[in-house]
Structure 1
């Protein structure tokens, strides 16, 4: 019991610090600072993904750093992922010695962070806040509804997740997300976007759980006391951000 209380206390303290940091960065609203923040998170995530994908080579850091540097100047950062993929494929075809697993961190988490940067670049910091509210409310709603009335297992990847909890999380996200939605959207469209992004965040969480189970680890890292690694905290955003950007480009 004492360990549970201590862990919960640490988790809450870390969560408060993260929230305050996000509020400060959002208030400053600087593209450079946001690029630097996402870039730092990406490089830490690459380190964590190396463990999940069992990668030994450190060359992935160089490729990722160069890609992220270019992303600062290019108007559509997510496009660059295809350039790097072509570079990987070309080396693989020419040398026949390139580790094929290097493609995996390119897709997860690098592509997702590029989409998050594009989301901020195109729609501003308030849209990132909208995404944060959707993912956070999905997690919170799913937790409380699942704990109170959850009985039916959602899937084998995450045995603790229930269908009732998932529905509760999505409904919570649809309600709260609509309140923080882009002003250019109608209420109906805001509800639809919030709902779809909420579902995407759930599967982002499931994908991270799957990777950790395959790698035989509890957390992707330990940089965030009580929370684990960067990937443990951003898994829902890494899927949700991609889906939100695509949807907003369709409806706006």
Structure 2
């Protein structure tokens, strides 16, 4: 497959994803949003199991149970805390249980529950704000990195540059600031946009670390031209947690 075909495939998948997300956001229905985020979560959970080298597929059923509970409990992020306590108690009771099996219940579970909780508490505009910040971080980092990037950012991801990371954060802070004004005042919008953009950089870096440790290029192959679901949502998983915490603390 030549470069043109890969680019075309990536473009078509990207447009399809964008249209789908915009339609779901426009409808703005909790059940539909829960269903969509749930599908993303379960696929990401399965990919995370692969990256963590976990063979117990029965864990997916527990992940489904966690998401079903999130449909009826008003504070989805609290479910993450309860899940942590439940597994800690289970390990204390049965020492044959492996802590490793809990890793997918941290990543990507925490990020997805926080994103759903943010939708419950702050509405669809908060998700649009998150979407804009993370997307602009990626776009800005790529544009600045390819045009003037020289300084390596981290050994975890050798292709990323410090200039690209700083450019991505700057672009996302400026662009996200305007979207955030529909929810918060100017100062808070700048702070949240900056912190979410910064966390998005490290969310991407964290997934790169997992892939490097697992010896794979992509987390999966379900999205033609893009790889896996985790490859697309890595920045959101960190950014969603940071945004919800800051919204609750600053607003």
In the TM superposition, what is the alpha-carbon distance from 1:242 to its structure 2 partner?
0.3
Count of paired positions: 251
Aligned Cα RMSD in Å?
1.0
CA distance in 2, matches of 1:59, 1:79: 23
CA distance in 2, matches of 1:78, 1:62: 19
1:93-124 deviations in whole A, cap 9, x for unaligned?
Answer: 22221122111001100111000000111111
After TM superposition, the score normalised by the length of structure 1 is: 0.97
CA distance in 1, matches of 2:5, 2:36: 29
Which structure 2 segments of 5+ residues have no match? Answer: none
CA distance in 2, matches of 1:76, 1:96: 31
In the TM superposition, what is the alpha-carbon distance from 1:182 to its structure 2 partner?
4.3
Aligned to 2:12: 13
1:148 correspondence with 2:141: no
Which structure 1 segments of 5+ residues have no match? Answer: none
**What are the within-5 Å matches in structure 2 for residues 21-60 of structure 1?**
21-60=20-59
In the TM superposition, what is the alpha-carbon distance from 1:59 to its structure 2 partner?
2.3
In the TM superposition, what is the alpha-carbon distance from 1:84 to its structure 2 partner?
1.7
CA distance in 2, matches of 1:41, 1:186: 31
Aligned to 2:125: 126
In the TM superposition, what is the alpha-carbon distance from 1:86 to its structure 2 partner?
2.1
Aligned to 2:165: 166
1:138-166 deviations in whole A, cap 9, x for unaligned?
Answer: 00001011111111111111111111111
After TM superposition, the score normalised by the length of structure 2 is: 0.97
